[in-house]
Chains A and B, each alone.
Chain A
Amino acid sequence: MNVMDTRATSAMLYLDGVHVSFDGFHAINNLSLTLEPGEMRAIIGPNGAGKTTMMDIITGKTKPDEGVVLFDGVTDLTRLDETRIAELGIGRKFQKPTVFESQTVQDNLLLALNVDHSVKGTLFWRGSKAESESIDKVLETIRLTEARNRLAGSLSHGQKQWLEIGMLLAQDPKLLLVDEPVAGMTDVETHLTAELLKEINKTHTVMVVEHDMTFVRELGVKVTCLHEGTVLAEGTIDQVSSNERVIEVYLGR
């Protein structure tokens, strides 16, 4: 079968007319969004705009009531569970940093590595040079080489955020969903994170949800503003931040 023929779209991620409601509350309302391969997109919007719910839908945690969610032009994500979607190549960083606190930094990365995740594979696993090299490389990138044998639970908040980004790198997905990566970070850390994400974007498609407008500006990418579960505005940061409706509901006058 020729894959090209079956592709409905060239987009890495394609959402069309997605609806989700929880007990009558419309969390996502006719949401349509397209991410091209290699693109980095920043998502902004007030609390309750549906940013995290959108990520839940893409990663299989929440099933939409209706609408199309296509990954890589061919795969219907609404039919798959979290594990299968992760295997396809969608990685996610959570709003609240979620690392495995009782395990060491390098074990966290080892668990994230994109290798055999079956019961048998992990039971008889014996490590390889390639694996430890990729862990070393990620540790270098996220500046945690010194802390590799520390328990992840003992890291500072900023370091945990970085470790979680590092886990995404180790996972090496096609699409990275990054939820509030700079929450609770200092200005310097925020700047470094922006640099890191730009670096990652050279080889990956990235979607970043963030409230920090300085950070979003620094990323310098296309911005989508969500409001009440639908797209309010889309464009460059200057276009979006000068939009009357965006100022009204989100940025404030």
Chain B
Amino acid sequence: MTPHMLTRSLDRGATIFLAIVAACGILIPLSNLLLPAGSFLQVPTYLVALWGKYVCYAILALAIDLIWGYCGILSLGHGAFFALGGYAMGMYLMRQIGTRGVYGNPILPDFMVFLNYSKLPWYWYGFDMFWFAALMVLVVPGLLAFCFGWLAFRSRVTGVYLSIITQAMTYALLLAFFRNDFGFGGNNGLTDFKDILGFNVQAEGTRAALFALSCLALILAFLICRSVVSSKLGKVLIAIRDAESRSRFLGYRVESYKLFVFTLSACMAGVAGALYVPQVGIINPSEFAPGNSIEAVIWVAVGGRGTLIGAALGAVVVNYAKTFFTSGMLAPYWLFMLGALFILVTLLLPKGIVGTFNSWWDQSKENRAATAASAAAEDGVTEPDMAESAQ
């Protein structure tokens, strides 16, 4: 990112959004750690972990909005990239357990001992090193997205067909990760984590730090998305979204553009997953469930497609509602409510919360300008000189 890209990407809305996220990222951990437990302003640890989860979802939503809102690629399999990032982090956390596991094997994680593995599979090598795992968090989802996109976009698979094969992709991964002999813990997944970089994952300080890091990651992801969409490349993406073949006739190589944003988006989803896993303490194949990816698309639709801020907001709002409704008597009806929410938003707020707000804001600004202009014109009746200068 060069300075001119950064300044171009920061409009008023973006600055306010970043300020709010930064404030949350600093104040919530401080309040949790420094204020006495039970005090009115103290944020309890369970809430820090819960909100940390929302922040990770917000990053995933940004990743989806970048490709769906700006380039018209509706991926219904983005949960797969999120889960792969999560697994990469989970593998690191598993290797950190060492001899503290139930079986006390210094190399093999518990599930491997249980399944009679004699040695570590080759694809687990290197995951005892944090830098390697962190690299894989980006590389594995990015590489999958690159290969998938290279095949799909070159063959000009678009629209609903692309959505369906992304669903198939995440479902195939779900089935693969369910298998015990795939080497990722089968349906139990990876859990029972102890340390991350030497800090106890359960400790309050670690949780607060993870929350702050998630907010930082959200800020960075937002800045990357903003600088992409506010560059000329962003205009090309919108052109591709609105009139793909027209863009080709202007000499744009549409598949390269799609491949670029799709891969970037998958890497961001991977980071979100990696931050999610130590905060929730488990990663298992259910994260690949097709329904998860669809739910993430609903967050973006509710918040406002193609607005970035809306995507992050939608993720937080819908998940807050989910937490609220699934913890009471209404729990069995949550999926119905989610479906109803999607239908209502599509019918009543097709631009989502932020999109609707933006149109209202622009409209009222226009009205104010019109009022001011007509007021100036009225003044002009009595003082012709004024009207001259106003124009």
A244 CB to nearest B CB, Å: 38
A175 CB to nearest B CB, Å: 13
B284-315 contacts to A, CB under 8 A, are none
Contact of B250 among A61, A81, A107, A111 (CB under 8 A): A111
Contact of A107 among B5, B235, B256, B257 (CB under 8 A): B235
**Contact partners of B243 in chain A: CB under 8 A:** 98-100
Q: When the two chains form their complex, are residues A94 and B246 in contact, meaning their CB atoms are under 8 A apart?
A: yes
Closest residue of B by beta carbon distance from A170: B250
B48 CB to nearest A CB, Å: 36
For the complex, give the distance between the alpha carbons of A15 and B55 in Å: 59
Q: When the two chains form their complex, are residues B5 and A86 in contact, meaning their CB atoms are under 8 A apart?
A: no
Q: Does B248 contact A (CB under 8 A)?
A: yes
Contact of B253 among A83, A123, A124 (CB under 8 A): A83
Q: Does B130 contact A (CB under 8 A)?
A: no
Contact of B231 among A82, A100, A107, A122 (CB under 8 A): A122
A162 CB to nearest B CB, Å: 16
For the complex, give the distance between the alpha carbons of A167 and B235 in Å: 15
Q: Does A7 contact B (CB under 8 A)?
A: no
Could you mark each residue 238-255 of chain B with 1 if its beta carbon is under 8 Å from any beta carbon of chain A, else 0?
110011011111111110
**Contact partners of A99 in chain B: CB under 8 A:** 243, 246
Q: Does B220 contact A (CB under 8 A)?
A: no
Interface centre among B2, B236, B250, B257 (most CB of A within 10 A): B250
For the complex, give the distance between the alpha carbons of A125 and B239 in Å: 16
Q: When the two chains form their complex, are residues B233 and A125 in contact, meaning their CB atoms are under 8 A apart?
A: yes
**Contact partners of A117 in chain B: CB under 8 A:** 250-253
Q: Does B361 contact A (CB under 8 A)?
A: no
Contact of B232 among A83, A86, A94, A125 (CB under 8 A): A125
Q: When the two chains form their complex, are residues B248 and A125 in contact, meaning their CB atoms are under 8 A apart?
A: no
A57-84 contacts to B, CB under 8 A, are 59, 61, 81-83
Contact of B256 among A87, A92, A119 (CB under 8 A): A119
For the complex, give the distance between the alpha carbons of A177 and B171 in Å: 46
Q: When the two chains form their complex, are residues B245 and A110 in contact, meaning their CB atoms are under 8 A apart?
A: no
Q: When the two chains form their complex, are residues B250 and A171 in contact, meaning their CB atoms are under 8 A apart?
A: yes
**Contact partners of A102 in chain B: CB under 8 A:** 238, 242
B246 CB to nearest A CB, Å: 5
For the complex, give the distance between the alpha carbons of A100 and B249 in Å: 13
Could you mark each residue 158-190 of chain A with 1 if its beta carbon is under 8 Å from any beta carbon of chain B, else 0?
000000000100010000000000000000000
Q: When the two chains form their complex, are residues B248 and A86 in contact, meaning their CB atoms are under 8 A apart?
A: yes
Q: When the two chains form their complex, are residues B239 and A111 in contact, meaning their CB atoms are under 8 A apart?
A: yes
B206 CB to nearest A CB, Å: 37
**Contact partners of B254 in chain A: CB under 8 A:** 83
**Contact partners of B360 in chain A: CB under 8 A:** none
Q: Does B119 contact A (CB under 8 A)?
A: no
Q: Does B283 contact A (CB under 8 A)?
A: no
Q: When the two chains form their complex, are residues B231 and A123 in contact, meaning their CB atoms are under 8 A apart?
A: yes
Question: How many residues belonging to A are interface residues under a CB distance threshold of 8 Å?
Answer: 31
A119-B233, A119-B257, A125-B232 known; A82 and B249 CB under 8 Å?
yes
For the complex, give the distance between the alpha carbons of A124 and B233 in Å: 8
Q: When the two chains form their complex, are residues B239 and A86 in contact, meaning their CB atoms are under 8 A apart?
A: no
Q: Does A126 contact B (CB under 8 A)?
A: yes
For the complex, give the distance between the alpha carbons of A128 and B236 in Å: 18
Contact of B233 among A61, A83, A123 (CB under 8 A): A123
Q: Does B117 contact A (CB under 8 A)?
A: no
Closest residue of A by beta carbon distance from B261: A119
Closest residue of A by beta carbon distance from B239: A100
Could you mark each residue 248-282 of chain B with 1 if its beta carbon is under 8 Å from any beta carbon of chain A, else 0?
11111110110010000000000000000000000
**Contact partners of B238 in chain A: CB under 8 A:** 100, 102-103
A100-B238, A100-B239, A101-B242 known; A86 and B249 CB under 8 Å?
yes
B87 CB to nearest A CB, Å: 29
Q: Does B56 contact A (CB under 8 A)?
A: no
B1 CB to nearest A CB, Å: 10
Q: Does A112 contact B (CB under 8 A)?
A: yes
For the complex, give the distance between the alpha carbons of A171 and B246 in Å: 13
Contact of A126 among B4, B233, B242 (CB under 8 A): B4
For the complex, give the distance between the alpha carbons of A92 and B249 in Å: 7
Q: Does B67 contact A (CB under 8 A)?
A: no
A83-B251, A87-B251 known; A98 and B231 CB under 8 Å?
no
Q: Does B49 contact A (CB under 8 A)?
A: no
Q: When the two chains form their complex, are residues B235 and A111 in contact, meaning their CB atoms are under 8 A apart?
A: yes
Q: When the two chains form their complex, are residues A119 and B260 in contact, meaning their CB atoms are under 8 A apart?
A: yes
Q: When the two chains form their complex, are residues A125 and B242 in contact, meaning their CB atoms are under 8 A apart?
A: no
Q: Does B228 contact A (CB under 8 A)?
A: yes
Q: When the two chains form their complex, are residues A103 and B233 in contact, meaning their CB atoms are under 8 A apart?
A: no
Q: When the two chains form their complex, are residues A123 and B228 in contact, meaning their CB atoms are under 8 A apart?
A: yes
Q: When the two chains form their complex, are residues B245 and A61 in contact, meaning their CB atoms are under 8 A apart?
A: yes
B292 CB to nearest A CB, Å: 30
Q: When the two chains form their complex, are residues B246 and A100 in contact, meaning their CB atoms are under 8 A apart?
A: yes
**Contact partners of B246 in chain A: CB under 8 A:** 94, 98-100
Interchain residue pairs with CB less than 8 A apart (24)? A59-B249, A83-B253, A83-B254, A86-B248, A91-B249, A98-B243, A98-B246, A100-B242, A100-B243, A100-B246, A101-B242, A103-B239, A107-B235, A110-B235, A111-B232, A111-B235, A117-B251, A117-B252, A118-B256, A119-B257, A119-B260, A122-B235, A123-B233, A124-B231
A-B CB proximity, top 10 nearest: A86-B251, A125-B232, A82-B248, A122-B233, A122-B232, A123-B233, A87-B251, A98-B246, A83-B253, A100-B239
A86-B250, A111-B247 given; 19 more Cβ-contact pairs under 8 Å: A83-B251, A83-B253, A92-B249, A94-B246, A100-B239, A100-B243, A102-B238, A103-B238, A103-B242, A110-B235, A111-B235, A114-B251, A117-B250, A117-B252, A123-B231, A124-B2, A124-B5, A125-B233, A171-B251
